[in-house]
């Protein structure tokens, strides 16, 4: 088993903002330095947060919830530490079906690793918390899970009924059991399938009808039981009461916060970046949850020019005075929900958060949320990058070694990789002759271009065009030779297909597409249980690779 750390730019479509964030410590004049609380790989981020002023109420709420999620001794011990002043390292994710993509496990592993690091280096206890994004309403994003068959990515959809309620509250019915059967087939009935059924199966005879939130919470609690991860669903009244001061500030100071966010967006754009969240005049940072025909409905709140508020659009919109919203907050704080920019501030009003662990999109959010932190809490919580990784199973690793393929080689289409493999598989004599011909041609063309450039500028331009065409034809000849080899050796394409399927599925990084349970099942095929892989991810997350890690299993 081994690892390799690659620059984050190895992954396609990595934003400049995220690259500059990771490299912040390399330059004292980094343009992103003012937008974040601390460098992600320095030691400044470990300055402990202020102890919680409501530690007992927080621990009581977490105790009750964690017991419902099936928490073990390590998790309950960490909650007890919160009662006596422990701080938190927090991460979070949407409640994806069957645990969501691999990045979910990577986030949780990073929170565990960073909590241990902060405890060891500050002498103050830190515990890891996984915040469930149950108040989100993007059902399409969580209503799917992607696993592998032998030749393709198989995306299973539950097709839950879409409505405007928070996704965490949406219950499963008997159709989840059919999806579990499909998943078990693709996971080759590995032991992890038993845990998935315990957490997700619809069992009316036992009185268990899981929701997206409760099933996800049970799964993550069990997977990280040995590491004491506290899984937290803050959607209820008890947690919203603890965070009510931030919700109140967002209502009472809406105009001030809007001005600050618009100024930060302009600042980002002036520096050549873009705002992750588009802030429009009149938009607020809040959603209002109401009962509509017996179901919850989550609607964005908008501010009107006259100072009133409106929930919903068109003829169905409802108007509220500021005093009415504040009355709702006092009576039922769980009815007010923060948007993506306010959520981290709301979170850190509830928790004594020393640092938050996030992915590239969350890092971008924090560049904007920083202005909210400063005005509401008077500080900025540092954000740390989650472990970014590609997991390579032994059989895929063997193929890569056979063909001398590295991760950057695999971050292309199957056709591109197949061409590379074929070019490398050409007979030595063919490669030598093609290389010699190409080098000789390039040398001759360069000499000719230099000579003609001395005679006349127009001749120089013509020579450049002609040389480009001849070099293109030489490259085409190399590709034709590789294509011949590809047809002659059918196994090359099969290997290219297998490598890209596992490492770059659907032309996206593995961590964003394939479910974490796929890798747990693969690990279990060679080991006794999934505990070892979780421990391995926590160990690798402690490495602080400032890029993308390749983990060979």
pLDDT band for 425, please (50, 70, 90 cuts). low
pLDDT at 458: 87
pLDDT at 244: 97
What is the average per-residue pLDDT within 66-95?
97
pLDDT tens profile 366-401: 999 999 999 999 999 999 999 999 999 999 999 999
pLDDT band for 163, please (50, 70, 90 cuts). low
pLDDT band for 211, please (50, 70, 90 cuts). very high
- Looking at the domain assignment, is residue 526 inside a domain? no
pLDDT at 487: 63
| Torsion on CA atoms 76, 171, 348, 41, rounded to nearest 10 | 80
Which one has a higher pLDDT value, 423 or 271?
Answer: 271
Q: Report which of 340, 380, 384 is spatially closest to residue 358, judged by C-alpha positions.
A: 384
pLDDT tens profile 284-298: 899 998 866 556 788
- Is this prediction's pTM over 0.85? yes
d(CA 54, CA 83): 9
pLDDT tens profile 81-111: 999 999 999 999 999 999 999 999 999 999 9
Q: Which residue has the tokens 């640092």?
A: 355
pLDDT at 330: 96
The answer to whether the CB of 94 falls within 8 A of the CB of 142 is yes
- Looking at the domain assignment, is residue 399 inside a domain? yes
Which of 93-102, 235-244, 296-305, 499-508 is predicted least confidently? 296-305
d(CA 120, CA 48): 12
Full residue range of the structural domain in which residue 493 is found: 394-507
d(CA 100, CA 79): 25
pLDDT at 481: 67
DSSP state string for 128-186? EEEEE-TT---HHHHSEEEEE-SSSEEEEE--PPP-SS-GGGPBP-THHHHHHHHHHHH
Token pair in block for residue 87:
């701080």
Question: Does the pLDDT at position 494 exceed 70?
Answer: yes
pLDDT at 18: 95
pLDDT at 183: 97
Instruction: Give the whole-number percent of the chain exceeding pLDDT 70.
Output: 95
Question: Does the pLDDT at position 122 exceed 60?
Answer: yes
What is the average per-residue pLDDT within 420-427?
71
pLDDT band for 447, please (50, 70, 90 cuts). confident
- Looking at the domain assignment, is residue 283 inside a domain? no
Q: What is the rounded average pLDDT for all residues in the chain?
A: 91
Instruction: Give the whole-number percent of the chain exceeding pLDDT 90.
Output: 67
pLDDT tens profile 242-253: 999 999 999 999
pLDDT band for 255, please (50, 70, 90 cuts). very high
- Looking at the domain assignment, is residue 500 inside a domain? yes
- Looking at the domain assignment, is residue 119 inside a domain? no
Question: Does the pLDDT at position 32 exceed 70?
Answer: yes
DSSP state string for 451-495? HHHHH-HHHHHHHHHHHHHHHHHHHHHHHHHHHHHHHH-HHHHHH
pLDDT band for 542, please (50, 70, 90 cuts). very high
pLDDT at 277: 87
The answer to whether the CB of 520 falls within 8 A of the CB of 427 is no
pLDDT at 484: 65
Query: 255-284: string of b/e by CB count within 10 Å (b at 16+)?
Result: eebbebbeebbebbeebebebbbebeeebb
- Looking at the domain assignment, is residue 53 inside a domain? no
Residue 532 has φ and ψ, to the nearest 5°, of -65, -40
Q: How many domains does the chain have?
A: 1
Which of 138-147, 229-238, 367-376 is predicted least confidently? 138-147
Q: Report which of 126, 128, 18 is spatially closest to residue 388, judged by C-alpha positions.
A: 18
Query: Edge-to-edge strand order for the sheet containing 309-311?
Result: 318-320, 309-311, 295-303, 283-292, 336-338
- Looking at the domain assignment, is residue 446 inside a domain? yes
d(CA 182, CA 148): 12
pLDDT band for 454, please (50, 70, 90 cuts). confident
pLDDT tens profile 506-520: 999 999 999 999 999
pLDDT at 430: 63
pLDDT at 256: 95
Q: Which residues contact 304 (CB under 8 A, 6 or more apart)?
A: 282, 310, 319
- Looking at the domain assignment, is residue 194 inside a domain? no
d(CA 300, CA 311): 6
d(CA 334, CA 282): 23
Question: Does the pLDDT at position 166 exceed 90?
Answer: no
pLDDT at 403: 87
Token pair in block for residue 322:
């500021």
Q: Is 454 exposed, middle or buried (0-12, 13-18, 19+ CB in 10 A)?
A: exposed
């Amino acid at each position: 088993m081994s690892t390799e750390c690659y620059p984050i730019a190895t992954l396609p479509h990595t934003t400049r903002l995220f690259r500059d964030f990771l490299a912040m410590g390399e330059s004292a004049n980094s343009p992103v330095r003012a937008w974040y609380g601390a460098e992600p790989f320095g030691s400044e981020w470990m300055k402990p947060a202020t102890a919680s002023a409501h530690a007992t109420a927080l621990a009581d709420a977490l105790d009750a919830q964690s017991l419902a999620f099936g928490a073990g001794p390590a998790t309950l011990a960490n909650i007890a530490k919160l009662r006596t002043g422990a701080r938190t390292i927090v991460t979070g994710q949407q409640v994806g079906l069957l645990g969501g993509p691999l990045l979910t496990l990577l986030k949780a592993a990073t929170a565990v690793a960073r909590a241990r690091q902060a405890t060891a280096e500050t002498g103050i206890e830190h515990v890891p918390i996984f915040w469930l994004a149950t108040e989100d309403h993007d059902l399409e994003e969580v209503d799917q899970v992607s696993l592998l068959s032998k030749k393709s990515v198989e995306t299973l959809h539950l097709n839950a009924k879409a409505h405007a309620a928070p996704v965490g509250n949406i219950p499963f019915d008997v159709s989840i059991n059919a999806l579990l059967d499909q998943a078990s087939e693709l996971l080759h009935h590995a032991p992890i399938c038993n845990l998935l059924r315990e957490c997700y199966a619809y069992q009316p005879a036992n009185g268990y009808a899981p929701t997206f939130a409760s099933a996800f919470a049970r799964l993550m609690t069990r997977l990280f039981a040995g590491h004491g991860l506290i899984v937290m669903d803050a959607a209820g009244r008890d947690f919203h009461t603890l965070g009510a001061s931030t919700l109140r500030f967002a209502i009472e100071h809406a105009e001030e916060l809007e001005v600050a966010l618009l100024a930060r967006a302009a600042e980002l754009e002036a520096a050549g970046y873009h705002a992750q969240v588009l802030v429009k005049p009149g938009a607020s940072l809040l959603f209002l949850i109401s009962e509509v025909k017996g179901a919850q409905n989550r609607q964005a709140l908008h501010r009107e020019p006259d100072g009133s508020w409106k929930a919903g659009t068109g003829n169905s919109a409802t108007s509220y005075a500021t005093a009415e919203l504040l009355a709702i907050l006092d009576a039922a704080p769980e009815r007010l929900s923060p948007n993506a920019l306010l959520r981290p501030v709301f979170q850190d009003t509830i928790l004594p958060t020393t640092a938050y662990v996030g992915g590239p999109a969350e890092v971008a959010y924090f560049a904007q949320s920083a202005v909210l932190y400063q005005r509401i809490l008077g500080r900025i919580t540092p954000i740390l990058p989650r472990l970014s990784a590609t997991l390579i199973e032994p059989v895929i690793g063997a193929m890569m070694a056979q063909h001398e393929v590295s991760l950057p080689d695999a971050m292309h289409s199957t056709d591109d990789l197949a061409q590379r493999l074929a070019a490398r598989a050409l007979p030595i004599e063919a490669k030598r002759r093609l290389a010699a011909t190409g080098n000789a041609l390039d040398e001759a063309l360069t000499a000719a271009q230099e000579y003609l450039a001395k005679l006349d500028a127009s001749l120089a331009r013509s020579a450049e065009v002609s040389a480009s065409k001849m070099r293109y034809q030489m490259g085409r000849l190399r590709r034709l030779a590789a294509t011949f080899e590809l047809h002659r050796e059918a196994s090359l394409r099969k290997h290219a297909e297998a490598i890209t399927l596992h490492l770059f599925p659907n032309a996206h990084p593995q961590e964003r597409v394939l479910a974490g349970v796929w890798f747990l099942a693969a690990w279990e095929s060679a080991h006794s249980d999934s505990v070892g892989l979780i421990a391995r991810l926590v160990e690798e997350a402690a490495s602080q690779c400032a890029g993308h890690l390749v983990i060979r299993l």
